[in-house]
């Protein structure tokens, strides 16, 4: 089939809506008679609720009701049902919602929340996950053993362990005995915010007939519908979820959030629509963020660089609720060193409750955490071996069709090629070439690289479906459940439809508003799975539609269906294209000159579910956790100012074996955006807490993110194309992998520049300067002497 659109750089289908300002987000939704909701949140990190007095708040004109957790005795969660709708008997962090004020105006609601009086009996809090693991630590979830949980997870009742994941491959102690060199280090990544432009928001209308309509800034409308039904005991068929444009997700809007609260409030206040939208401060203090991550990693190798063993322990500080983070801990554990061919691997990965802000998924889903610890370890191992870090990685990365992953899966022959990715980024930054020294003697240039991989962390039964409906004028309605919040998946799917049906891509329509009652099912829009899973479902739907078209056309043209092809808006006989019939004459049924008709409206249906995914063995972690691996590598050149500790990334390159670039423009946008996001996490981002668990920097004036001046002038995007046979046109997803290797790449470049190891993020000037003073005080003294001479020369 001639491909007109596959591989073509097209702007996203919804670009016009966004640049003209006509795109409608949940923040923009307003219904007649709509009430507004604001949250009363805890000022205590851990305490029993003795009494809630709302009498003064109810006196505010326009206030309709003040509701508490006792009005909503439900448990929520996608993997572990550990979340309450509002705090019922006790609060577990500063910011825990304890009451909801419902008012006719936002102003009235905001005024009233300050008048709700809550009496607490303080309990002992625990803020450090290592302290939380001790026997004498206060138990944050005493009923953990009673919570609903998915079968893949192992909470430990009577402790603060929300999940324990175990990985065992080979004999790790034997592997270390065989090693000539062993390095061991600790690593840390702080809590960070997803920083989406649109904060979480929801509009809900609970109707008197039991139907619930919800408009939500969520990634996965079908997950919201399913989890609401499961948690609240409501028939799924009674719940309709609408997903307008979403102003950023990055994993933070996956699963279930404020939708049950809004729906239940709507019912309580007389079946009126209600709206809840978070302020930026509430987004930082009351909504889930990315967890804190602690790691201990030990890695061993032969003198020639061949890896023999890797042992790791991960502690994820999951905050007060670990619902989604239990799966993050699982993914971090099974992805440890997955890009390397290591015969002996041992990892325990624990999600641990503390009295801090609850946590959830974030772009990369456990893989950035494991990559940070492992890639820094490999860099230090190379230094210990006095070996080129590139050579060490090239020697040990997995080989398609040959290597066995850490979970015991033999890589398929078309899995991708990390060697090509490494070689491409090394070439892009002139790896091995000595750079010209900066004029200022206190500045140093360094280069770093990293290699990594990512696959969807989804359950084996995560299915997708697609519907193709062809209209009278041969425009095509594509109905899929995949969310669209910037990643561009829908544009790529439209390109597939256009090529397969031989119609202009402008004729393919995908409705901007998702609705669970009008689009085909997909499990979730997470894990970089959309193009692969929904793409396969779309191809099946197209196959179904084309079969129907050819069956009708074969009767008209008097040839076998196999002798027909669909091209340029026509169905034509292969080899005799002048014998054809327009698609417009077929798609609603063909009518003969005498009025007899055959066929009927063409509606194609397709579905996809992974045939290979398995649960992982609870004792060893062995199994098949994902449907594909996207291998990637990153490299960068940095400048380090020894006097201030400031790190500036001068240039960067990333290469990904994406199988096939359906849309090169969208690939480049993802890679550049992902690098900048990774750079921001590496150099600036950190949620800071005081001694009582208060968030100290809950806004963008105190929580620093990368600005335009921090972006390197050169970010090379290098697609590597080794198609995977069971993927749509061979394509793998890259939405998450584009940021996960950036922090270790930058830290490795800093080590290369000044010989200082920094294993705790972020690499702020303060943290870098402290590391220099501790590890290389003589460097600072040298620079001071050179500075005097330099000033004299100037």
Q: Once rounded to an integer, what is the mean pLDDT over residues 196-213? A: 97
**In-domain check, residue 140:** no
- The answer to whether residue 671 scores a pLDDT higher than 70 is yes
**In-domain check, residue 8:** no
Q: Once rounded to an integer, what is the mean pLDDT over residues 178-198? A: 98
One domain for residues 638 and 702 = yes
One domain for residues 449 and 482 = no
CA 365 to chain centroid, in Å, comes to 6
Helix (H, G, I), strand (E, B) or coil at 431: coil
One domain for residues 602 and 630 = no
One domain for residues 619 and 578 = no
**In-domain check, residue 684:** yes
Helix and strand tally (H, E) in the chain? 18, 31
One domain for residues 581 and 685 = no
| Residues 635 and 447: beta-carbon distance below 8 Å | yes
**In-domain check, residue 179:** no
Helical residues (DSSP H) of 429-534, grouped into ranges: 489-501
Residue 175: what pLDDT?
98
Residue 275: what pLDDT?
98
| Residues 556 and 579: beta-carbon distance below 8 Å | no
- Comparing CA positions, the residue from 487, 454, 490, 453 lying closest to residue 673 is 487
Rg (CA), the chain: 28
One domain for residues 225 and 89 = yes
Q: Which of 549, 578, 609 is the last residue of a domain?
A: 609
**In-domain check, residue 156:** no
One domain for residues 621 and 602 = no
Q: Give 471's pLDDT tier (boundaries 50, 70, 90).
A: very high
| Sheet bearing 63-68, strands edge to edge | 63-68, 97-103, 35-41, 274-277, 201-206, 212-216, 239-243, 514-515
One domain for residues 297 and 249 = no
Q: Which of 243, 277, 311 is the last residue of a domain?
A: 277
One domain for residues 254 and 342 = no
Q: Output phi, psi for 269, to 5 deg.
A: -95, 25
Q: Which domain range does residue 661 map to?
A: 292-458+614-782
Q: Give 794's pLDDT tier (boundaries 50, 70, 90).
A: very low
Q: Once rounded to an integer, what is the mean pLDDT over residues 501-519? A: 94
- The answer to whether residue 484 scores a pLDDT higher than 90 is no
> Which residues are CB-contacts of 489 (< 8 A; sequence separation ≥ 6)?
482, 525, 530, 531, 534, 735
Q: Once rounded to an integer, what is the mean pLDDT over residues 727-731? A: 98
Q: Which two tokens stand for residue 720?
A: 């590597």
- Structural domain total, the chain: 3
**In-domain check, residue 594:** yes
- The answer to whether residue 751 scores a pLDDT higher than 50 is yes
Q: What is the CATH number of the domain that holds 598?
A: 3.30.365.10
- The answer to whether residue 788 scores a pLDDT higher than 90 is no
Exposure string over 703-731, b if 16+ CB within 10 A, otherwise e: bbbbeeebbbeebbbbbbbbbbebbbbbb
pLDDT tens figures, 97-116: 999 999 999 999 999 999 99
| CA-to-CA dists, residue 64 to 106, 213, 260, 261, 272, angstroms | 12, 21, 19, 16, 11
- The answer to whether residue 792 scores a pLDDT higher than 60 is no
Residue 56: what pLDDT?
98
Q: Give 790's pLDDT tier (boundaries 50, 70, 90).
A: low
Q: Which of 249, 277, 305 is the last residue of a domain?
A: 277
| Sheet bearing 47-53, strands edge to edge | 90-91, 47-53, 117-122
Q: Once rounded to an integer, what is the mean pLDDT over residues 136-154? A: 95
Concatenating the DSSP letter of every residue in 769-786 gives HHHHHHH-HHHHHHHHHH
pLDDT tens figures, 581-596: 999 999 999 999 999 9
What mean pLDDT, rounded, does the chain reach?
A: 96
Euclidean distance between CA atoms 698 and 679, whole angstroms = 20
Q: Which two tokens stand for residue 191?
A: 């809590």
- Per mean pLDDT, which range of 192-201, 484-493, 733-742, 765-774 is the poorest? 484-493
The pTM (predicted TM-score) of the whole model is 0.97
Concatenating the DSSP letter of every residue in 311-330 gives EEEEEEEEES--TTHHHHHH
One domain for residues 217 and 320 = no
**In-domain check, residue 158:** no
Q: Give 1's pLDDT tier (boundaries 50, 70, 90).
A: low
Q: Give 2's pLDDT tier (boundaries 50, 70, 90).
A: low
- The answer to whether residue 303 scores a pLDDT higher than 80 is yes
Q: Which two tokens stand for residue 456?
A: 């969807």
One domain for residues 466 and 451 = no
Q: What is the CATH number of the domain that holds 110?
A: 3.90.1170.50
Give percent above pLDDT 90 in the chain. Answer: 95
Residue with tokens 């022959």: 413
**In-domain check, residue 535:** yes
Euclidean distance between CA atoms 115 and 111, whole angstroms = 7
Euclidean distance between CA atoms 255 and 323, whole angstroms = 9
One domain for residues 265 and 303 = no
Q: Which two tokens stand for residue 42?
A: 């805890």
């Amino acid at each position: 089939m001639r491909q007109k659109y596959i591989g073509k750089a097209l702007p996203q289908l919804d670009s016009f809506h966004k640049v003209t300002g006509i795109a409608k987000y949940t923040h923009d939704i307003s219904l007649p008679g709509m009430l507004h909701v604001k949250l009363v949140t805890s000022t205590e990190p851990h305490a029993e609720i003795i009494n809630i007095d709302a009498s003064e708040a109810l006196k505010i004109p326009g206030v309709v009701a003040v509701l508490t957790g006792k009005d909503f005795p439900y448990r929520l969660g996608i993997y572990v049902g550990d979340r309450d709708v509002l705090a019922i008997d006790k609060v577990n962090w500063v910011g825990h919602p304890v009451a909801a004020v419902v008012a006719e105006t936002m102003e009235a609601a905001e005024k009233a929340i300050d008048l709700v009086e809550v009496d607490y009996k303080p309990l002992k809090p625990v803020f450090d996950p290592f302290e939380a693991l001790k026997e004498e630590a206060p138990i944050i979830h005493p009923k953990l053993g009673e919570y609903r949980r998915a079968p893949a997870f192992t909470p430990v009742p009577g402790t603060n362990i929300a999940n324990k994941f175990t990985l065992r491959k080979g004999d790790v102690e034997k592997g270390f005995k065989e090693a000539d060199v062993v390095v061991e280090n600790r690593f840390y990544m702080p809590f960070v915010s997803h920083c989406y432009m649109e904060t979480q928001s929801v509009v809900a209308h609970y109707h008197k007939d039991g139907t619930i309509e919800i408009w939500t800034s969520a990634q996965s409308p079908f997950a919201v519908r399913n989890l609401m039904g499961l948690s609240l005991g409501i028939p799924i068929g009674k719940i309709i979820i609408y997903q307008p444009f979403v102003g950023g997700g990055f994993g933070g809007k996956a699963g279930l959030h404020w939708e049950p609260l809004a729906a239940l409030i709507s019912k309580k206040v007389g079946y009126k629509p209600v709206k809840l939208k978070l302020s930026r401060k509430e987004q930082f203090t009351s909504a889930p963020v990315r967890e804190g991550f602690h790691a201990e990693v030990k890695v061993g190798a032969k003198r020639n660089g061949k890896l023999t063993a890797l042992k790791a322990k991960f502690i994820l500080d999951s905050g007060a609720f670990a619902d989604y983070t239990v799966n993050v801990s699982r993914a971090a554990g099974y992805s440890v060193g997955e890009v390397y061919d290591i015969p002996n691997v041992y990892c325990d990965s624990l999600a641990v409750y503390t009295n801090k802000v609850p946590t959830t998924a974030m772009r990369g889903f456990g893989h950035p955490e494991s990559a940070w610890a492992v890639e820094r370890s490999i860099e230090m191992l190379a230094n210990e071996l006095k070996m080129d870090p590139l050579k060490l990685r090239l020697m040990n990365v997995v080989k398609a069709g040959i290597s066995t992953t850490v979970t015991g899966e033999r890589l398929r022959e078309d899995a991708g090629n990390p060697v090509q990715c490494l070689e491409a980024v090394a070439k892009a930054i002139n790896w091995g070439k000595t750079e010209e020294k900066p004029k200022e003697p206190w500045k140093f240039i360094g280069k770093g690289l990293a290699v990594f991989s990512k696959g969807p962390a989804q359950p084996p039964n995560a299915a997708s479906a697609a519907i193709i409906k062809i209209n009278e004028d041969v425009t095509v309605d594509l109905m899929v459940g995949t969310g669209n919040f910037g990643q561009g998946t829908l544009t790529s799917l439209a390109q597939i439809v256009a090529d397969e049906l031989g119609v202009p891509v402008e004729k393919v329509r995908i409705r901007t508003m998702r609705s669970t009652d009008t689009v085909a099912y997909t499990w979730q829009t997470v894990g970089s799975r959309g193009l692969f899973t929904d793409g396969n479902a779309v191809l099946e739907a197209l196959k179904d539609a084309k079969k129907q078209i050819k069956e009708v056309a074969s009767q008209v043209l008097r040839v076998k269906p196999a002798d027909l092809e669909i091209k340029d808006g026509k169905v034509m006989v292969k080899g005799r294209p002048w014998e054809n019939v327009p698609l417009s004459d077929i798609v609603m049924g063909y009518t003969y000159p005498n009025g007899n008709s055959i066929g009927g409206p063409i509606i194609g249906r397709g579905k996809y579910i992974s045939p290979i995914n398995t649960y992982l063995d609870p004792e060893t972690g062995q199994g098949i956790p994902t449907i594909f691996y996207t291998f990637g590598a990153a490299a960068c050149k940095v400048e380090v100012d020894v006097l201030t500790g400031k790190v500036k990334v001068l240039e960067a390159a990333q290469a990904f074996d994406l199988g096939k670039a359906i849309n090169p423009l969208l690939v480049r946008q993802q890679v550049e955006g992902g690098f900048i996001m990774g750079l921001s996490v590496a150099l600036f981002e950190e949620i800071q807490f005081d001694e009582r668990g208060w968030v100290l920097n809950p806004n963008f004036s105190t929580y620093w993110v990368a600005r335009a001046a921090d972006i390197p002038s050169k970010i090379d995007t290098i697609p590597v194309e080794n198609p995977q046979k069971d993927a749509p046109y061979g394509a793998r997803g890259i939405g998450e992998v584009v940021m996960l290797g950036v922090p270790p790449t930058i830290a490795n470049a800093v080590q290369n520049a000044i010989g200082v190891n920094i294993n705790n993020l972020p690499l702020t000037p303060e943290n870098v300067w402290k590391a220099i003073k501790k590890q290389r005080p003589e460097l600072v003294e040298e620079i001071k002497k050179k500075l005097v001479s330099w000033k004299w020369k100037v």
